[in-house]
């Protein structure tokens, strides 16, 4: 049953961030927002003229306050009494008073992007890295790894043990008894007993937070958050999921939904919507509207001749649309089922896409008769086609996370191309069909690599200092990639050997939407197609006070 932590009228307010401030939305799990348990304070990581720092906003004050000495902060979280804010910076976990002062280093953490932290009432901080959970006293010291056994699945909505083994650990949070921590890994939510290491898989869903109404609130994708009833004593969910808020901004690269809820029912989130626009952008960042009405655009892909654009349109079930770039006209090609990841065949006469987790292709004279490329269990995404009818895809596997697989459209067979403990994604076959570029986190940082296609052979690192989403120029002499919110180009030389030569930062792309993987493309004329959301969303937050009263009306007792 829904509890009543605090009754009162529901009120909604949009608050502006500080002058020239925007939320620092970074790819992956790095997170910019937190709210205190009493709902009186919000902490956020602001980007102001390229520099980031931690900012405190008391809800009874008119102006935000930057906390000095917090440059480069990530993933803020509050102490139970709301008087301190913890955060990550470089390879350190630190804390600082809400009144200001010099930040104090709590401990060092392993390199990479942290997955969040929770400050328990007993003075212990639990934090996540890619490899697991760690405990450290709030006063500082050496962190201790939380040793966990094999997951035991709860009934009904629980994810199986293979879901636990996929992906990195994120979003730890103490449950009310202080002895259990809920967290996300892969596609599932799990609970661990800190005393025994007993692990329970709870349900299929991520970014779950416990509400004192005995619900879990979680990110449901598609800019929606939902709740599901949860018993903190048995650590089991029951009943059905309910969508409670639409239009919540999602971070780039398949990142998190930007929201937080206090213990007394104050909800704060960054607004988003399906009203996205398409833009043509040159190498210097000068943009021009493509001229079609705003819709839920994602995954734009320019045809080989540069005349058409294949694009997915949300909300779900996501439809496959075609945009005539010469006439600025858009129309659905396929709808009624869920489509993602369009990819043109090199001849421009066929269009591949992921449909119900399988790769298919269609001819334009028969759009309702898709042909499956190859029959293979599992989920395959991000197709890239070669002239020979081979398709490179990124595949989710229980053992390794993301691997690269070759599907043969000629005979329906398939084989692994690159299967390692690292995650390999974003495959892109070169125009001459001799090379494949992809993203890997084998070094601990996401980098663009290139390998001979269809293999065998080693790989060459292309990006410098990180990079994702490689895309070839039409003539194969350049590789474009994204580093954070910057678009880069590498001059490359192909042939019997591959060499990456000069690297150039082309333009700052912070104003565009990177909530999806490779949510951009480059046409044969060298112009980029970018997706843009509501630009004002990053400079304001929506506050819903006494939100539990609204939740009570949405979710029946």
Handedness of CA 151, 226, 469, 350 (dihedral sign): positive
> How many angstroms separate the CA atoms of 232 and 212, rounded?
10
* pLDDT classification of 196: cutoffs 50, 70, 90: very high
Q: Which residue has the higher pLDDT, 189 or 5?
A: 189
Per-residue pLDDT, 251: 67
User: DSSP readout, 33-79?
Assistant: EEE-TTSSEEEEEEEETTEEEEEEEETTSSS-EE-TT-TT-EEEEE-
- Summarised one tens digit per residue, pLDDT across range 425-437 is 999 999 999 999 9
Per-residue pLDDT, 159: 39
Per-residue pLDDT, 537: 62
- Summarised one tens digit per residue, pLDDT across range 402-418 is 899 999 988 889 999 99
CB of 259 within 8 A of CB of 251? no
- Summarised one tens digit per residue, pLDDT across range 531-552 is 997 665 667 899 999 999 999 8
Which of 167, 208, 530 shows the shortest CA–CA distance to 379? 167
**Residue 315 clears pLDDT 80, i.e. is over it:** no
CB of 27 within 8 A of CB of 251? yes
**Residue 151 clears pLDDT 60, i.e. is over it:** yes
**Residue 278 clears pLDDT 90, i.e. is over it:** yes
Q: Which residue has the higher pLDDT, 554 or 120?
A: 120
> How many angstroms separate the CA atoms of 210 and 461, rounded?
42
Q: What b/e sequence results for 502-514 when a residue is b if at least 16 CB atoms lie within 10 Å of its CB, and e otherwise?
A: ebeebbebbbbbb
**Residue 57 clears pLDDT 90, i.e. is over it:** yes
Q: What angle do CA 206, 300, 394 make, to 5 degrees?
A: 50
Per-residue pLDDT, 398: 61
Strand runs labelled E in 272-357: 277-281, 287-289, 296-302, 308-314, 319-324, 329-334, 339-344, 350-355
**Residue 1 clears pLDDT 70, i.e. is over it:** no
> How many angstroms separate the CA atoms of 88 and 110, rounded?
11
Q: Which residue has the higher pLDDT, 549 or 131?
A: 549
- Summarised one tens digit per residue, pLDDT across range 332-355 is 999 877 888 999 999 999 999 988
**Residue 167 clears pLDDT 90, i.e. is over it:** no
**Residue 457 clears pLDDT 90, i.e. is over it:** no
**Residue 29 clears pLDDT 60, i.e. is over it:** no
**Could you give the maximum distance between any two Cα atoms of the chain, in Å?**
71
**Residue 177 clears pLDDT 70, i.e. is over it:** yes
Query: Among the listed ranges 88-97, 128-137, 278-287, 516-525, which one has the minimum average pLDDT value?
Result: 128-137
Can you tell me the mean pLDDT for 303-310? 97
**Residue 270 clears pLDDT 90, i.e. is over it:** no
- What is the model's pTM? 0.68
* pLDDT classification of 163: cutoffs 50, 70, 90: very low
**Residue 554 clears pLDDT 60, i.e. is over it:** yes
Can you tell me the mean pLDDT for 139-161? 69
**Residue 370 clears pLDDT 60, i.e. is over it:** yes
Task: Count CB neighbours of 231 within 10 A.
Answer: 11
Q: What's the number of CA atoms in the CB half-sphere (13 Å) around residue 166? A: 21
* pLDDT classification of 84: cutoffs 50, 70, 90: very high
**447: its two tokens:** 């980098």
User: Count H helices, E strands: the chain?
Assistant: 2, 51
Percent of the chain residues past pLDDT 90, beyond the cut: 58
Q: Look up tokens 């995650």; give the residue.
A: 423
**Residue 83 clears pLDDT 90, i.e. is over it:** yes
> How many angstroms separate the CA atoms of 396 and 166, rounded?
8
> How many angstroms separate the CA atoms of 135 and 130, rounded?
15
**Strand-pair partners of 51:** 48
Query: Among the listed ranges 213-217, 294-298, 323-327, 358-362, which one has the minimum average pLDDT value?
Result: 358-362
Can you tell me the mean pLDDT for 113-124? 91
- Summarised one tens digit per residue, pLDDT across range 204-246 is 888 999 999 999 999 876 678 999 999 999 999 998 999 999 8
Q: Which span out of 484-488, 515-519, 552-556 was modeled with the highest average pLDDT?
A: 484-488
Q: What's the number of CA atoms in the CB half-sphere (13 Å) around residue 526? A: 12
Handedness of CA 278, 283, 287, 291 (dihedral sign): negative
Antiparallel, parallel or unpaired: β 435-440 and 447-452: antiparallel
Per-residue pLDDT, 95: 98
């Amino acid at each position: 049953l829904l509890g009543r932590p605090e009754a009162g009228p529901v009120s909604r307010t949009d608050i502006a961030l500080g002058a020239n401030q925007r939320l620092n939305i970074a790819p992956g799990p790095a997170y910019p927002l937190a709210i205190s348990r009493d709902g009186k304070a919000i902490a956020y990581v602001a980007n102001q003229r390229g520099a980031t720092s931690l900012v405190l906003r008391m809800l009874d004050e008119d102006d935000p306050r930057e906390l000095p000495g917090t440059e480069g902060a990530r993933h803020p979280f509050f102490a139970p009494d709301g008087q301190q804010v913890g955060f990550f910076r470089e390879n350190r976990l630190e804390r600082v008073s809400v009144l200001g002062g010099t930040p104090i280093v709590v401990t060092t953490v392993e390199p990479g992007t942290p997955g969040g932290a929770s400050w328990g009432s007993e003075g212990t901080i639990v934090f996540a890295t890619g490899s697991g959970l760690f405990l450290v006293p709030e006063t500082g010291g050496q962190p201790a790894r939380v040793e966990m056994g094999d997951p035991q699945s709860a009934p009904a909505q629980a994810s199986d043990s293979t879901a636990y083994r996929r992906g990195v650990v994120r979003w730890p949070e103490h449950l009310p008894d202080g002895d259990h921590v809920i967290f996300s890994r892969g596609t599932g939510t799990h609970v661990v007993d800190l005393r025994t290491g007993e692990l329970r898989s709870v349900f299929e869903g991520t970014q779950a937070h416990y509400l004192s109404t005995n619900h879990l609130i979680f990110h449901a994708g598609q800019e929606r958050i939902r709740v599901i009833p949860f018993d903190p004593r048995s650590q089991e969910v029951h009943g059905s999921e309910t969508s409670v808020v639409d239009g919540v901004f999602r971070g780039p690269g398949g990142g998190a939904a930007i929201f937080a809820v206090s213990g007394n029912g104050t909800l704060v989130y960054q607004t988003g919507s399906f009203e996205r626009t398409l833009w043509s952008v040159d190498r210097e960042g000068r943009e021009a509207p493509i001229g079609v009405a705003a819709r839920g655009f994602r995954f734009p892909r320019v045809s080989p001749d540069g005349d058409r654009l294949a694009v997915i349109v949300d909300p779900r079930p996501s439809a496959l649309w075609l945009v005539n770039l010469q006439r600025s006209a858009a129309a659905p090609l396929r709808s009624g089922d869920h489509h993602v990841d369009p990819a043109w065949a090199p001849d421009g006469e066929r269009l591949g896409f992921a449909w119900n987790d399988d790769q298919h292709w269609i001819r334009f004279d028969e759009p309702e008769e898709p042909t499956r490329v190859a029959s293979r269990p599992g989920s395959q995404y991000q197709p890239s086609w070669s002239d020979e009818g081979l398709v490179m895809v990124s595949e989710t596997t229980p053992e390794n996370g993301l691997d690269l697989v070759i599907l043969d459209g000629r005979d329906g067979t398939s084989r692994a191309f690159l299967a390692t403990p690292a995650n390999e994604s974003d495959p892109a076959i070169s125009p001459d069909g001799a090379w494949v570029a992809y993203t890997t986190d084998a070094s601990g940082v996401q980098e663009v690599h290139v390998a001979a296609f269809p293999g065998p052979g080693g790989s060459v690192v292309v990006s410098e200092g990180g990079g994702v989403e490689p895309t070839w120029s039409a003539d194969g002499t350049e590789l474009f990639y994204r580093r954070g919110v910057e678009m880069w180009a590498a001059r490359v030389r192909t042939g019997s050997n591959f060499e990456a030569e000069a690297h150039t930062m082309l333009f700052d792309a912070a104003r565009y939407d990177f909530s999806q993987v490779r949510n951009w493309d480059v046409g044969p004329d060298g112009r980029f197609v970018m997706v843009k959301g509501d630009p004002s969303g990053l400079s304001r937050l929506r506050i819903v006070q006494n939100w539990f009263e609204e939740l009570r009306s949405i979710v029946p007792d």
